[in-house]
A and B are shown apart, each in its own frame.
Chain A
């Protein structure tokens, strides 16, 4: 089936540094990918829509200068958390919609646990 690979699965960084999270579609091309964040015991919150070859579309309240998204190819989108602070600690998840030939809805990565210390 369609697979989305997310890396790293967990990362600890110091406050003020930047962290990059990768999201790859392994067996399909994805012109659109989505980035979510999730706090403990809460639902997923959509942060932005990543569009291949163009700028990302951010949801209201999400700082585009803090959460940099790059979708340089049809199989890779990256989320960079810049100047991370402890309040950015969260679970980040990406997703993509496989095209024809794959049954089902969206495919999600396994998530990245970011801890800022």
Chain B
């Protein structure tokens, strides 16, 4: 399983765009990149998944460069309710187990 590195914490303000970058230098050819969000005392929630280039959904965008050694989760116009821990995971999918890294604790300020 590819190891991931993210910033431990980030602060931003309401209305700003927030970009969280994840490094995964040893990503394998068949690995996907998935981001989860976790609020206190809740299970993680799927945000977005991608393999290469750019993926966008109603919540976020995911940018993946050509070498796929990193990825950036972009949250547009954040609000206080986006304060959470964000996890970047890399793996082949299927029913394989997923191992969580430390995640990024995002704190949105008014």
Interface residues, chain A, with chain B CB atoms under 8 Å away = 4, 6, 31-32, 34, 36, 43-46, 49, 91, 93-95, 97, 104-111, 113
Q: Mark B65-100, 1 if CB is under 8 A from A, else 0.
A: 000000000000000000000010100011101111
The A/B interface has a contact count, at CB < 8 Å, of 52
In the bound complex, do residue A111 and residue B43 qualify as a contact, i.e. CB atoms below 8 Å apart? yes
Q: Is the CB of A34 within 8 A of B101?
A: no
Q: Give the residues in chain A near B46, CB-CB below 8 Å.
A: 104-107
Interface residues on B, range: 20 to 34
The minimal Cβ–Cβ distance linking A53 to chain B, given in whole angstroms, is 14
Query: Which of A104, A107, A111 has a CB less than 8 Å from the CB of B42?
Result: A111
Kindly state whether residue B54 has any CB partner on chain A within 8 Å. no
5 sample A-B contacts, Cβ–Cβ < 8 Å, listed by A number: A46-B100, A105-B46, A105-B49, A105-B93, A110-B43
